[in-house]
A and B are shown apart, each in its own frame.
Chain A
Amino acid sequence: MLYDLGYFALLIAFILAVYSAAAGVFGAQTKRLQFVESARNAALVVFVLLTLCVLIVIYGLAMLDFNVAYVADVSSRAMSLFLRVTALWGGQQGSLLFWAWMMSGFAAAVMIRKWRRDRELMPYVIFVTMGTLAFFIGLTLFISNPFARLWHDPLTDEIVTALWPPKGMMVFTPQDGQGLNPLLRHFGMIGHPPTTYVGFTGFVIPFAFAIAALITGKAGEDEWIRTTRRWTLVAWLFLSIGLVLGGRWAYDVLGWGGYWGWDPIENAMLMPWLTGTAFLHSVMIQEKRGMLKVWNIVLIILTYSLSIFGTFITRTGVVGSVHAFSKSAMGPSFLIFVAVTFLGSLALMFKRLDTLKSDHELDSLLSRESAFLLQNLLFLGITFAVFWGTIFPMISELVTGTKITVGPPFFKQVTGPLFAALVLLMGIGPLFAWRKQATAKLGKSLLIPFAGSAIVTIIAAFAHWPRHPFPLALFGLWLVSLAALTTLFEFWRGARARMQSQGENFFVALGHLMWRNRRRYGGYIIHLGVAMMALGVVGDEFFKAETQGTVGVGESLAVENYTLRFNGLRQYPGSDGREIVEASASLYRDGEFVMTLKPRRDFFVTQQQPVTVPAVYSTPGADVYVLLVGWEDIGRDASTFKIYVNPLINWVWAGGITFIIGTLIAAWSSLDDKRAASYVIQPVVGQAASLSKV
């Protein structure tokens, strides 16, 4: 009964979303405001209805209502309430509903907050958001419905999944559910998927405003960019958080000692992040100089399309195996939707090119504008390489019939140099002035950071020389330290100027500086975070060490200056229906005892799936990451361990946190916007008087 209610709520939400999109456009075209208002109200009701649907699914999961096919699929009695609730986004049906709910939340929020300010754009914002939403609700409703239930056919003794009771069948409620995929039974489940979804869905807002601006012929003005700046930042922030949390989760759970495997699904997340980052930078040129209007539209169209494409890859598994098309009816609908919105938006843009005229002028090739453009090119180059590498297995199979794999070595080699160029540009780009940068001045401001980074690199070279004589690794270190030092130097220069003009001490000056220019210094903090993450990547890429070996009780395995002594093995039943085999081992550094590590192998009995749980000794310098790979079954007196020494890896997480703080500071700038609007250079009275005498 309750699930029928959910189904009807979903159906009405779908009808209302379609209506809302149509009524918005109709009202705007015929200038009948009541239709536009009706469209908005319908959009708000959609959010309420989807909230109801989400609550009903959560109720089913919490109450273990295994009659519901989705609940039987992703939850089980052994799972804790916390995990059962997170199972809302643990499977196909639930996550699509969750996706739609989040997007309707964004749409409702923007309609409430910006209704008066952007009245002309709103009808088309409704059209775009509700159109996208109707597609996703449609998928949930017609292809992958979370309210479908299980029925038993007494004649053939088959279990059938259907929304309504098929003729002659009885309600079927299994004793227990399948339960969530063991890899998803982790605390990270609360963080990574929802933040990623917020990121994906959030980009619909700037996209909708861009399309609305195109349709109304206002795309040449900056209104849509100013209105959506913070929305874009929020979407981007959540996508960034999702990426960092996903990396951390993979590090903790997947048991391969790394955080990024260039898997298609990871790539699908990275691509909209890359184009979104390019967009966030590129709109600054439009705001300051009125340039690149067409380009910014292209970037937001790309970002939105890649978000949808990312959802498509994640939810259909099309790239993992080409045959997923036949398994899921969603594949073709997704492809058509992505193609239609992408080509449609581009067509609209070309039709409206006349409204996007801007005067592109440049005083010098050495300027902030060129730095931004180069940065855009690099971001798009990386996006293309990632995209191409991700879909190439499919292309290869279609064209030559040969299945191939495009693995991490490809992505590292192709994007590595581009990322390195980006880090360099991130360091020196902010020093460039708009319009024209004097070369001598640039050299002067680069001198100290350059010298500093050279010193750091030389010290690192000598400290590590006997073990790691890699020129590439040293180059990476130099690059990262240069980027970090130029950014820090910017803070110092700004603070020093305030110290001189306002007579403040360093910390007060720094605080005021950052508070007054949150957007700028937030951006610099983000850059610092990226430099920290880059340091972690350099460490992981070039200084990582690993070994694997089988040792008996009391024997040791050594890697670098660490030694691991195996003490014994024990087996016991754990929670969530798993059997745990746990090794106990003592870790020594340079012969001195550090701590006891307990790497495990959890075997999920129902799913017949093993999960390797690493034991980690973590320091700012390096992580020692120990995996229990295997053991002697008879007698249990020997085990195989794999030990990774992951240098600098904690800089990735610390950098991620710094990055997020920076983004929050940059987004927290409501006061700045108002001040910027009324900002006029007011000459000091004395100066004006002396000028007039001339």
Chain B
Amino acid sequence: MTRKIVLSLLAIAASFMAVAVVYAQSGYPTDDDVNRVAKQLYCPVCPNTPLDVCETKACQDWRADIRDKLAAGWTDDQVIEYFVQRYGERVLAEPRRSGFTSFVWFLPIVSVAIGLVVLAQILRGWKAKRRAAVAAPTAQADDIPPEVLQRLEKELKKIS
């Protein structure tokens, strides 16, 4: 019995925590504006959950913070920069294209480009080998008269 009471008390306490603060809808910034910014951010405590869908208390506070900043007339970029200044680059969903993190961007692109070049070289090499192979054995071809070869080719084409 006591356990049930404790549990339901806990539940009530927790439901207070879990519920987002509900705001009156009075124009800008709307929830959609907040989410547009939040989508580009990750809070440091919830790995791999973007801020716009995260349900923890910390993330709700962040979203409230975004709302206040937007209401105060900040642009999206200013809000994002503010979070980067306070919590570091890890809040960015998309790593920056400058500095050390540019490696994450250009290495895959460079490797695919190199792969394409290597592939082209390999294929060209194989083709050259084939040409050499076709050019070399001429003696054997004499064994079969050309009419027969022509005929064979024609028949083969029919079958395939």
Contact = CB atoms under 8 A, between A and B. Distances in A.
A549 B31 contact: yes
A294 B23 CA distance: 63
A377 B112 contact: yes
Interface stretch (A196-204, A461-469, A630-638): A630-638
Contacts, number: 174
Given A365-B123, A377-B112, A605 B48 contact: no
Contacts of B116: 377
Nearest to B156: A681
Interface stretch (A210-218, A396-404, A535-543, A669-677): A396-404
A381 B108 contact: yes
Interface stretch (A50-58, A339-347, A383-391, A648-656): A383-391
B127 A548 contact: no
Contact of A409 (B24, B48, B93, B109): B93
A603 interface: yes
A464 to B, nearest CB: 21
Nearest to A364: B127
A384 B111 contact: yes
Interface in B110-152: 111-112, 115-116, 119, 122-127, 129-130, 133, 145, 147-148, 151-152
B94 A409 contact: yes
Chain B interface residue bracket vs A: 35 or more
A550 B23 contact: yes
B100 A374 contact: no
Given A361-B130, A405-B42, A405-B90, A377 B123 contact: no
Given A405-B92, A601-B18, A629-B20, A380 B155 contact: no
Nearest to A632: B22
B126 A360 contact: yes
Given A402-B89, A403-B89, A321 B130 contact: no
B95 interface: yes
B48 A263 contact: yes
Interface string A128-142: 000000000000000
A95 to B, nearest CB: 19
A640 interface: yes
B123 A370 contact: yes
Contacts of B125: 360
A320 interface: yes
Nearest to A414: B108
A142 B140 CA distance: 68
A297 B125 CA distance: 21
B145 to A, nearest CB: 8
A181 to B, nearest CB: 15
A409 B50 CA distance: 11
Nearest to B115: A377
Contacts of A549: 25, 30-32
A392 B103 contact: yes
A392 B119 CA distance: 27
Interface string B51-93: 0010100000000000000000000000000000000111111
Contact of B48 (A261, A402, A403, A630): A261
Nearest to B23: A550
A561 interface: no
Contacts of B145: 694
A264 B18 CA distance: 27
B1 interface: no
Contacts of B28: none
B5 interface: no
B55 A612 contact: yes
B10 A605 contact: yes
Contacts of A402: 88-90, 100
Interface string A622-666: 000000011111000011101000000000000000000000000
B108 A548 contact: no
B15 A603 contact: yes
Given A550-B31, A633-B15, A403 B123 contact: no
Nearest to A402: B89
Contacts of B94: 407, 409-410
A394 to B, nearest CB: 11
A404 B126 contact: no
B19 A410 contact: no
Nearest to A320: B47
A414 B53 contact: no
Interface string A258-278: 000101100000000000000
Contacts of B119: 373-374, 377
A381 B112 contact: yes
B85 to A, nearest CB: 14
Contact of B104 (A320, A365, A410, A579): A410
A384 B151 contact: no
Nearest to B33: A548
A429 interface: no
A168 interface: no
A633 B20 CA distance: 9
Contacts of A373: 119, 122-123
Contact of A362 (B93, B105, B130, B151): B130
A320 B22 contact: no
A361 B133 contact: yes
B154 to A, nearest CB: 10
A581 interface: yes
A575 interface: no
Given A388-B104, A396-B101, A418-B112, A687 B22 contact: no
B31 to A, nearest CB: 4
A305 B79 CA distance: 42
Interface string B3-18: 0000100110011101
A21 B7 CA distance: 53
Contact of A410 (B30, B105, B111, B124): B105
For A364, A404, A603, A687, the residue with the greatest tally of chain B CB atoms inside 10 Å of its CB is A404
Contact of B47 (A321, A362, A550): A321
For B25, B104, B130, the residue with the greatest tally of chain A CB atoms inside 10 Å of its CB is B104
Given A384-B111, A632-B22, A363 B130 contact: yes
A504 interface: no
Contacts of A687: 155
Contacts of A255: 53, 55
Contacts of A403: 44, 88-90
A408 interface: yes
A184 interface: no
A318 to B, nearest CB: 12
A380 B115 CA distance: 9
A185 B77 CA distance: 39
Contact of A608 (B14, B16, B24): B14
Given A406-B95, A549-B32, A606-B7, 6 more contacts: A362-B123, A404-B101, A410-B95, A549-B25, A603-B18, A691-B152
Interface of A: 255-257, 261, 263-264, 320-321, 359-365, 370, 373-374, 377-378, 380-381, 384-385, 388-389, 392-393, 396, 399-400, 402-410, 414, 418, 546-551, 577, 579, 581, 601, 603, 605-606, 608, 610, 612, 629-633, 638-640, 642, 681, 683, 687, 691, 694
10 contacts: A360-B122, A380-B115, A384-B112, A396-B100, A403-B44, A403-B90, A410-B104, A548-B31, A630-B22, A633-B16
Interface of B: 7, 10-11, 14-16, 18-25, 30-32, 35, 40, 42, 44, 47-48, 50, 53, 55, 88-95, 100-101, 103-105, 107-109, 111-112, 115-116, 119, 122-127, 129-130, 133, 145, 147-148, 151-152, 155, 159
9 cross-chain pairs, A with B, having the tightest CB-CB distances, nearest first: A630-B20, A407-B93, A548-B31, A385-B108, A362-B126, A256-B53, A409-B94, A361-B130, A403-B90
